Chain A
Amino acid sequence: MPTLALPPAVEPAILPGFDENVLDAALKGEPALLQAKRTAAYEAYTTIQNPEAFHEEYRRMDPRKFKFGSFTRLDIPHQTIAYNAQPVDGHYDVVISVTPEGIAIEDRGDVTASGKVRVQTLQQAALDYTTEVEQALGTAIESEEPRKFFELNSAFWNVGFHIHVAKNATLERGILLRYHNDREGSALLPRLLVTAESGAAFALAEQFTSPDGVATLCISAREFHLAPNADVKLVSLQDWGSAGIHIGEDWARIKRDAKVDLFSMTLGGKVSKMTVGCDVCEPNANAYLGGLFFANGKQHFDQKTLQFHSAPNTYSNMLYKGAVKDTGYSVYQGIIRALKNCVGVDSYQTNNNLVLDPGARADSLPGLIIDADELACSHGATMGNLDPEQMYYLRSRGIPESEARRMLVLGFFEEVIERVPFETMRDRLHEVIEQKLNPVTEK
């Protein structure tokens, strides 16, 4: 079975900064369930080879760029920090804030009082809802596809939340998670576990920020378990400052009649490697993977999608749109995987790229691995600069060249942005894209 996964290791494969001593620190004071989960994940992590530039998945993203060894795992205290309200907070029911000093969970819409919605640290959830966490945590990942960084996060995560939405419960305004790391040389390893009971419907927004020039590493893992007929949306915005390094793994398991929308937006930091996988594992399950990336300056972004169809009559649709400018470099790699006997699968994979400067580069490698008959799978990729006829048309209407470029780039991304369910996130996306097109020449 050809996948892009790293091969098994003969000797324990340990990355600098994430060894047994660090694991001991992570285990300290944890509930027994989490200790067991972390220890098992550590075992799995050491049995997968460390990424090297000769591995297929890393040929276009030299893992030395992650600078393992120069970052120390943050020990985020189990303390509540003062809640620092932001102007956009009123748009959300719950706001979760994380800094190196601690966390704050602010239930602005009073939605957790009824118990229909639970927002807890993973430690608290492991104590209060042990069976549920035991069944869900670390199990969304596809067993065919061992993932080094998913297991690394599972062993070493230093801040974790469990969001649970009960049967048929809905959230009007959704949940915002914001991570801010201003500590030079530190590693943040956020973990998110989302469980949606049948008929639950809600949306999550997530944002990562840091000051420009402050070197930080983030290795994030999120997993989503959707019971039948659930409807969950995630919009994640990687908005790190100029010296951020980001590695992320998302996994979603979608059951009968349920629907997930996973938006992965990569705009910040200097190096980013993002993997989004979904398994539509029961009939009439549906996944939409939306992606947006824009690499300018020397940014290097790599994104990968995995659309698993492990049941007949399942649906997935993927649209990743990227732009590169200056000497920015982006890689998109994707696989649609339909298992044997999965008839009636409908799956699409589209990656469109704008290459705005001759020194910029975008690679696109879509792919299908199909073991079933009677299905409809297609993939397509486009690559090119702005269409000269569109430019001419706008300019012939009196619109100056720079403004016409801005309109066309924003228009290119709009197909993804217009589906984002949060106005504050759409605004931020527009803002960052505009900054990248017309950078302020200070700093």
Chain B
Amino acid sequence: MADLEIKNLHAQIGDVKILKGVNLEINKGEVHALMGPNGSGKSTLSSVIMGHPDYEVTEGDILFMGESILEMDPEERAKAGVFLCFQYPVAVPGVSISSFLKKAVDARHPEGKAPSGPFLKEMRENMAFLEMDASFANRGLNEGFSGGEKKRMEILQMMMFKPGMVIMDETDSGLDIDALRIVSKGVNKMKNDDMGLLVITHYERILTYIKPDHLHILMEGRVVMSGGPDLVKELEEKGYDWVREQAAATA
């Protein structure tokens, strides 16, 4: 059994059915990429994995480390080790980055409170690694941040929480080449046998920085094609129409 198992997942928002039977298996230590055209359900899948309250799962299951997480609140999923890099992280004015990170780290600590000294040291080191100015720690969370700063903030959280399974929802969108390099640097530093990674993206560009072991293509709410790293190149050359034809032929 895989560490993250998505089985025949159907989900909708309101009356709009978006996921129509997604199957996906990801193990820790693996990097998977998920690509697909606009409206195929990529962002919905990441929201459903994290437990966004607006989405309703009507069929299927999501298992993490052998246990269904569907009934879990978002905070329980996070503590179990699931981490979502948001495509559009919200601003939370009045809540400083350092106090936010401390609360989130405390929530994971067995005694409910992590010692401040080591926490601050780790936060500063990670910020330096991501080329973030130390003064950022006192700023309101994502308040007035540029697109690149927001994404670095997401990676900083990933580095602080050390999750077992990371879903990156179009982290590369809106990033210039420098920001993309820094974000990728953070992800590659974190990559290890204790962490699985699902990189959801529109563009092949990020996959030259974060090399996937597997690629899946999502269309109309289903994974219609899966393959190895070579599939990236093939998709780039032939486009989604080719995937549609292949899918129609096998259906």
A-B interaction: yes
Does B28 reach chain A (CB closer than 8 Å)? Answer: no
Closest to B89 in A: A393
Q: Which residues of B contact A12 (CB under 8 A)?
A: none
Known interface pairs A392-B74, A395-B78, A398-B161. Does A414 touch B104 (Cβ–Cβ under 8 Å)?
A: no
Q: Taking the nearest CB of chain B, how far is it from the CB of A408, in angstroms?
A: 7
Known interface pairs A395-B74, A395-B78. Does A415 touch B104 (Cβ–Cβ under 8 Å)?
A: no
Closest to A416 in B: B94
Name the interface residues of B39-71: CB closer than 8 Å to any CB of A.
50-53
Q: Which residues of B contact A390 (CB under 8 A)?
A: 90, 92
Closest to A409 in B: B94
Closest to B99 in A: A407
Q: Which residues of A contact B100 (CB under 8 A)?
A: 394, 397, 407
Name the interface residues of B63-104: CB closer than 8 Å to any CB of A.
73-75, 77-79, 84, 86, 89-90, 92-95, 99-100, 103-104
Closest to A387 in B: B90
- State the 10 A-B residue pairs at the shortest beta-carbon distance, nearest first: A411-B94, A414-B94, A398-B78, A411-B95, A395-B74, A398-B107, A397-B104, A396-B74, A395-B75, A398-B79
The distance in angstroms between the C-alpha atoms of A403 and B140, with both chains bound, is 17
Q: Is the CB of A411 within 8 A of B93?
A: yes
Does B184 reach chain A (CB closer than 8 Å)? Answer: no
Does B201 reach chain A (CB closer than 8 Å)? Answer: no
Does B108 reach chain A (CB closer than 8 Å)? Answer: yes
Does A62 reach chain B (CB closer than 8 Å)? Answer: no
Does B157 reach chain A (CB closer than 8 Å)? Answer: yes
Q: Is the CB of A392 within 8 A of B103?
A: no
Q: Is the CB of A388 within 8 A of B53?
A: yes
Does A389 reach chain B (CB closer than 8 Å)? Answer: yes
Q: List residues of chain B with CB under 8 Å of any chain A CB.
A: 50-53, 73-75, 77-79, 84, 86, 89-90, 92-95, 99-100, 103-104, 107-108, 140, 157, 161
Q: Which residues of A contact B99 (CB under 8 A)?
A: 407
The distance in angstroms between the C-alpha atoms of A240 and B108, with both chains bound, is 39
Q: Is the CB of A397 within 8 A of B78?
A: yes
- 7 A–B contacts, CB within 8 A, in A order: A396-B75, A396-B86, A397-B75, A399-B104, A407-B103, A408-B95, A412-B93
Closest to B47 in A: A392
Q: Is the CB of B94 within 8 A of A400?
A: no
Does A128 reach chain B (CB closer than 8 Å)? Answer: no
Does A413 reach chain B (CB closer than 8 Å)? Answer: yes
Q: Taking the nearest CB of chain A, how far is it from the CB of B247, in angstroms?
A: 32
Does A76 reach chain B (CB closer than 8 Å)? Answer: no
Majority DSSP secondary structure for residues of A touching B: helix
Q: Is the CB of A412 within 8 A of B90?
A: no
Q: Which residues of B contact A398 (CB under 8 A)?
A: 75, 78-79, 104, 107-108, 161
Q: Is the CB of B93 within 8 A of A415?
A: yes
Known interface pairs A392-B53, A407-B103, A408-B95. Does A397 touch B157 (Cβ–Cβ under 8 Å)?
A: yes
The distance in angstroms between the C-alpha atoms of A401 and B103, with both chains bound, is 12
Q: Is the CB of A410 within 8 A of B92?
A: no
Q: Is the CB of B95 within 8 A of A407?
A: yes
The distance in angstroms between the C-alpha atoms of A213 and B251, with both chains bound, is 75
Q: Which of A396, A411, A413 contacts B51 (CB 8 A)?
A: A396
Closest to B88 in A: A389
Q: Which of B77, B94, B103 contacts A403 (CB 8 A)?
A: B103
Q: Is the CB of A396 within 8 A of B78?
A: yes
Closest to A412 in B: B94
Q: Taking the nearest CB of chain B, how far is it from the CB of A142, in angstroms?
A: 33
1/0 contact string of A350-392 vs chain B (CB within 8 Å): 0000000000000000000000000000000000000111101
Q: Which residues of B contact A399 (CB under 8 A)?
A: 75, 103-104, 107
In this complex, the member of A396, A401, A404, A412 whose beta carbon has the largest number of chain B beta carbons within 10 angstroms is A396
Q: Which residues of B contact A418 (CB under 8 A)?
A: 94
The distance in angstroms between the C-alpha atoms of A304 and B92, with both chains bound, is 28
Q: Which residues of B contact A411 (CB under 8 A)?
A: 92-95, 140
Closest to A414 in B: B94
Q: Taking the nearest CB of chain B, how far is it from the CB of A262, in angstroms?
A: 21
Q: Taking the nearest CB of chain B, how far is it from the CB of A199, in angstroms?
A: 32
Q: Is the CB of A396 within 8 A of B84?
A: yes
In addition to A407-B92, A407-B103, 11 A-B residue pairs with Cβ atoms within 8 Å of each other are A388-B53, A396-B50, A397-B75, A398-B107, A398-B161, A399-B75, A401-B73, A403-B103, A407-B99, A414-B93, A414-B94
The distance in angstroms between the C-alpha atoms of A389 and B90, with both chains bound, is 7
Q: Which residues of B contact A388 (CB under 8 A)?
A: 53
Known interface pairs A398-B161, A403-B103. Does A408 touch B75 (Cβ–Cβ under 8 Å)?
A: no
Q: Taking the nearest CB of chain B, how far is it from the CB of A396, in angstroms?
A: 4
Q: Which residues of A contact B53 (CB under 8 A)?
A: 388, 392
The distance in angstroms between the C-alpha atoms of A410 and B100, with both chains bound, is 12
